[in-house]
Structure 1
Amino acid sequence: MSGRPWEQTAPERPAPAGGAGAASTGGAGAALAERSARDPGGDLVAAMLAEPAGRSSPSVYETGRLVSLAPWLTGHGERIAWLVRTQRPDGAWGAPDGYALVPTLSATEALLAVLRRGDGGFARERLGQVAHRGLRALHDTLTGPGAPPPPDLPATDLIVPALTDLIAGHLDALRERPDLGDWDAAPRPPLPVGLDGGRLDRVRMLLAAGRPLPEKLAHALEVVGPAARRAVGVGPVGPGTVGASPAATAAWLGPDPGPAHPARAYLEDLVRQYGGPVPCASPITVFERSWVLGTLCRAGVPVRVPDVLTTELRDALGPTGTPTGPGLPADADTTSVTVYALARLGQPVDPTVLRAYDTGEHFCTWPGEDGASVTTNAHVLDALGHLLPYGGPAAPWLASAVDRVTRWLLDQQEPDGRWSDRWHASPYYATCCAVLALTGYGSADAARRAVDRAASWVLAGQRPDGSWGRWSGSAEETAYAVQTLIAAGHRDGPGAAAVARGAAWLSEVDDHDGAPELWHDKDLYRPTLIVQAAVRAARWLVRPEAGGG
């Protein structure tokens, strides 16, 4: 291959082939086992083709926003019932450690809005009880001086004050409606320490002055209230979405959208796909495809990839890369994983598309990012390191970037050996991303010591049943831990017993169980096929015939 492989057209080819699968006897079972052995990633490819928009777990936050903003949308009653059904015993919604704040605010505000309007077909007494319990959870444990700090989720500093204001308005109105229950003792939730409404006020002032919002804020357009309706400089793109968000789209449409509007058609299609509740973001086509294919190819899982998938991934890359979804800005994370996946599939593209994100020290997820992401930089190292050997005119920049990103990642490692990141709740994900990138493409001798420290941290965190997880053992986090240990050389080393226990645990669990949600958006979510690909990769790597992985 020449020094500029991205200028060539590579033929379709399967990812690296490997062996085997469980033997089966007789008829259809034997045929199915044979197909699985030939193409063990085939079901994931088929799922991506069947649902091009991608699939994620439903979001309490986003579903609550549709209940509040779009009672006209098909499935309104199903969304209310889902919110009632998913409330935790303590009255909150969502995960531990501060992650319950945003979903609990959203669900509580939505149920209070339903009480005021009187829609949805639910008994007012029942909804009042659920809302009271949500308010109590907010006041007792999720806000105020003793509350855990809000996690670093997108737009939390806008969402929390916006929902707190809405809840206060509902409570004032309900106190004047004795027919809707006794709300006199229901206090307005206080804001968590360190949060105020200052940034939200500035965003609303931008819109009031007729100035367009920054592109990334379209994803949370619902926070601006009625001013979101047909907001200046914001509109539906792709399949009709605003900001790749059901909530933002509903807010942009307003309370009485036309029946044939493309944005309404987008929402109607989405609620049909999910059966009522909705995810935080859709479509996630490029995100899902690049992560799934890159993960499977790295592990050597045989997978036959139709031309349409690689063509659409290539076509998604513009001058500054590709976004996660339509209506969002292009970002270095999705772009780098797409570049890496295409290169692994024999369809390399020009890696200098990532230069727009090079800060001189590390890579930003997008220009103007607040903070920096470990996993974005690990993915950049994957992409640039994989293409570095090809040389070409970009070689000096590629070599410099690989060195700089390696050093930056090493500097971000925590004292105990782990890495953490702003796009995922579990340090097992960030640690796995960093270790895979450093063992594959890291240019510093210090990378080996960092990887050894990371492996020691992973080994220390294994649960007695063989699993790993932040809150409890999960297939996703166990898959990351196993991949980390194998990359660090522990298949046959001192960690071999831990790898074997993790493999045994993974062999007994269902990677379709839908839990937990660990990925960061406005709410935690689970990108279904991406997680299944991670589990599939770990299972493939621990096969006895996989050798050193």
Structure 2
Amino acid sequence: MDAYESEVDASQALIKWLALQCSSNSSFGSMSPSIYDTAWLSMLQKPGDPKHWLFPECFDYVLKTQLPDGGWPAYASIVDGILNTAAALLAIRKHLAVGHGHKTSDLKEISSRAEDALRELLRRWDVSSCDQVGFELLVATHLRLLSSEGVVLDFSQLAQLQALRDAKLAKLPASSVYGEPSTLYHSLEGLIGHIDFDQIGQWREPNGSMMASPSSTAAYLMHASNWDALAEAYLRDVLRNSSGQGGGGVPCAWPTSIFELSWVVTTFIESGISIGEAEASVIGTFLESTLRAQKGVVGFAPWSFPDADDTAKTAMALFYLGRRPETYIPALINTFETTDHFRTYLAERNPSISANINVLSFLLLLDDPTPYVPQIAKAASFVCGRVFLGEVKEKWTQKNKKFCEQLLSIAPKLKEQIPLISLQMLMTALRLQGCDGGWDNECELTAYAILTLSSLVQLPWTGTHERLIDAIKHGKTFLTAHRSEWKEAARLSSLKLSPRYCVPQSYKPVTLCVTSNAGA
């Protein structure tokens, strides 16, 4: 059995598991435990019972995941390391203040090492180059909370960070938080000291969470005047049923069922991996019933805050599963279309490239996309414009000649922009490939790079097919050689099924689309 067949078998087993979860009538998600969110749960105490920690197993998890240098892991950026270490240190300081449950001398030593690690992370951090969403609020708030616990952390760019925080808050009137839910509800801990938590309970989701975020829900419980039993029940549900399986760790979001189902289904079917009739029926019914119940728009889980990414991906999944998602297009357009792009969320501040790519991909799937030429042109023009600003490297696809003529009549610049963008992507991908065939020595990044090149090789204007195919083969050799590392990385990644849904396509044999110049 070759690598591709092996991955296909494992992928079909995953589909069966997902279908089983859909049939269970229980919430599900497989994001790996997050140090940050786990630390926030470990700080919870019920009012009137200062000697009782609500989730002591979470604190144990935080302690056992401390690194030898005294910090906690940085998943994708130094900001992740700063926030993980700051939240863990804050939890330790709060436990030290109460003075029970762990030997004080041990906690003091752990705290001291964590402080040293956090100071070093802050020293190395370039605040001006950071573009992680909400970092200015989250990091500044954690530093302020640590200061209140006796840990004062000064560093050369602190004033710059505080200025960024103040500028962000100046654009964030209380009415924007209290008046309607937004993405801020996923990180309410960043607004501690700036909002009245008693005024946000009305936007809690039906499952008891604040936008399916354990850390945000924990912050809400800590700072609301009245204890919310449903929010506590949500956190217990996460601790018991998420990927940590009761071991003390919780993910950064849970549940994530719509997100996982839609992305897995679309990627597998585009890879040529078949989905059994029984599984397709169960998954399709789950997705469509959720879409129908929520009037045509969905988020990453049932009844979570709707967004264009998950709505478009869910519609794509339904199309691939033999359903008719056209019924829900008006809701997608009416909810997310703006004058020049599709927004991700209703209260979005910064336009998202991925949301427009996903809306574009869905509309191009339709048997007859011509009724939506204005929306397709709008999304494509937005994506192309962002690429030329250096903000994204993505691919774009188009349909039949009549459709393209209509599209280009609305957005004529696309005719020149699309080839330029794809060639830019091609050159960048080839330039960044390592001598060992991988990209940045990472299996996941290499798999995505192979997917990109496999798409680009189909385009008539890329030309260098032999060079492209050699790069793809070299990348596959890297994946095969690092197979064991990939499986270990899957255990630690933020989404454990990510390797399973992108590796099959990266192993898939490459076929070329040969076009004739006859009659040109």
Q: Which residue of 2 aligns with 1:438?
A: 397
User: Which structure features the higher share of helix residues?
Assistant: 2
Match of 1:354 among 323, 332, 347: 332
Q: Which residue of 2 aligns with 1:325?
A: 301
How far apart, CA to CA, are the structure 1 residues paired with 2:166 and 2:391? 31
My pick for the range that moved more, 58-67 or 121-130, is 121-130
Give the gaps of 5 or more residues in structure 2.
Answer: 22-26, 47-51, 408-413, 459-463, 514-520
Residue 489 of structure 2 aligns to a residue whose secondary structure is coil
How far apart, CA to CA, are the structure 2 residues paired with 1:101 and 1:108? 10
Give the gaps of 5 or more residues in structure 1.
Answer: 1-20, 24-32, 173-185, 421-430, 518-524
What is the identity, as a one-letter code, of the residue corresponding to 1:451? S
Task: Name the count of aligned residue pairs.
Answer: 467
Q: Which residue of 2 aligns with 1:485?
A: 453
How far apart, CA to CA, are the structure 1 residues paired with 2:219 and 2:253? 15
How far apart, CA to CA, are the structure 1 residues paired with 2:7 and 2:171? 57
Pick closer, same or farther for the CA change 1:200–1:406 going to 2, 3 Å: closer
How far apart, CA to CA, are the structure 1 residues paired with 2:96 and 2:129? 28
Residue 316 of structure 1 aligns to a residue whose secondary structure is helix
Q: Which residue of 1 aligns with 2:342?
A: 363
Q: Alignment identity in percent?
A: 24
How far apart, CA to CA, are the structure 2 residues paired with 1:516 and 1:81? 16
Structure 1 position 399 matched with structure 2 position 373: yes
Match of 2:284 among 310, 329, 337: 310
Q: Which residue of 2 aligns with 1:547?
A: 511
My pick for the range that moved more, 247-256 or 50-59, is 247-256
Pairwise CA RMSD of aligned residues? 3.6
Structure 1 position 504 matched with structure 2 position 484: no
Question: CA deviation digits over 1:404-460, x for unaligned, max 9?
Answer: 222222222258xx754xxxxxxxxxx4xx22x436798633312321221111011
How far apart, CA to CA, are the structure 1 residues paired with 2:281 and 2:248? 33
Q: Which residue of 2 aligns with 1:426?
A: none
How far apart, CA to CA, are the structure 2 residues paired with 1:37 and 1:463? 24
Structure 1 position 383 matched with structure 2 position 370: no
User: CA offset at residue 232 of structure 1?
Assistant: 4.0
Q: Which residue of 2 aligns with 1:56?
A: 31
Q: Which residue of 2 aligns with 1:335?
A: 311
User: Larger relative contact order (C-alpha < 8 A, sep ≥ 6)?
Assistant: 1
My pick for the range that moved more, 475-484 or 300-309, is 300-309
Match of 1:466 among 437, 453, 461: 437
Match of 2:106 among 112, 118, 126: 126
How far apart, CA to CA, are the structure 1 residues paired with 2:60 and 2:127? 28
Residue 96 of structure 2 aligns to a residue whose secondary structure is helix
Pick closer, same or farther for the CA change 1:70–1:503 going to 2, 3 Å: farther
Structure 1 position 153 matched with structure 2 position 132: yes
How far apart, CA to CA, are the structure 2 residues paired with 1:115 and 1:352? 55
Pick closer, same or farther for the CA change 1:492–1:86 going to 2, 3 Å: farther
Structure 1 position 112 matched with structure 2 position 88: no
TM-score, length-normalised on structure 1?
0.74
Do the aligned partners of 1:357 and 1:366 also contact (CA within 8 Å) in 2? yes
Do the aligned partners of 1:293 and 1:341 also contact (CA within 8 Å) in 2? yes
Pick closer, same or farther for the CA change 1:229–1:411 going to 2, 3 Å: closer
Structure 1 position 284 matched with structure 2 position 256: yes
What is the identity, as a one-letter code, of the residue corresponding to 2:330? T
What is the identity, as a one-letter code, of the residue corresponding to 1:112? R
User: CA offset at residue 332 of structure 1?
Assistant: 0.7
Q: Which residue of 1 aligns with 2:165?
A: 196
Pick closer, same or farther for the CA change 1:245–1:38 going to 2, 3 Å: closer
TM-score, length-normalised on structure 2?
0.78
User: CA offset at residue 220 of structure 1?
Assistant: 2.0
Match of 1:272 among 240, 243, 262: 240
* Residues 257-268 of structure 1 mapped to structure 2, 5 A cutoff: 261-268=229-236
My pick for the range that moved more, 56-65 or 249-258, is 249-258
Q: Which residue of 2 aligns with 1:100?
A: 81
User: CA offset at residue 280 of structure 1?
Assistant: 0.8
Match of 1:454 among 418, 421, 425: 425
Structure 1 position 237 matched with structure 2 position 205: yes
Question: CA deviation digits over 1:486-521, x for unaligned, max 9?
Answer: 11117953211111111112223144323698xxxx
What is the identity, as a one-letter code, of the residue corresponding to 2:42? V
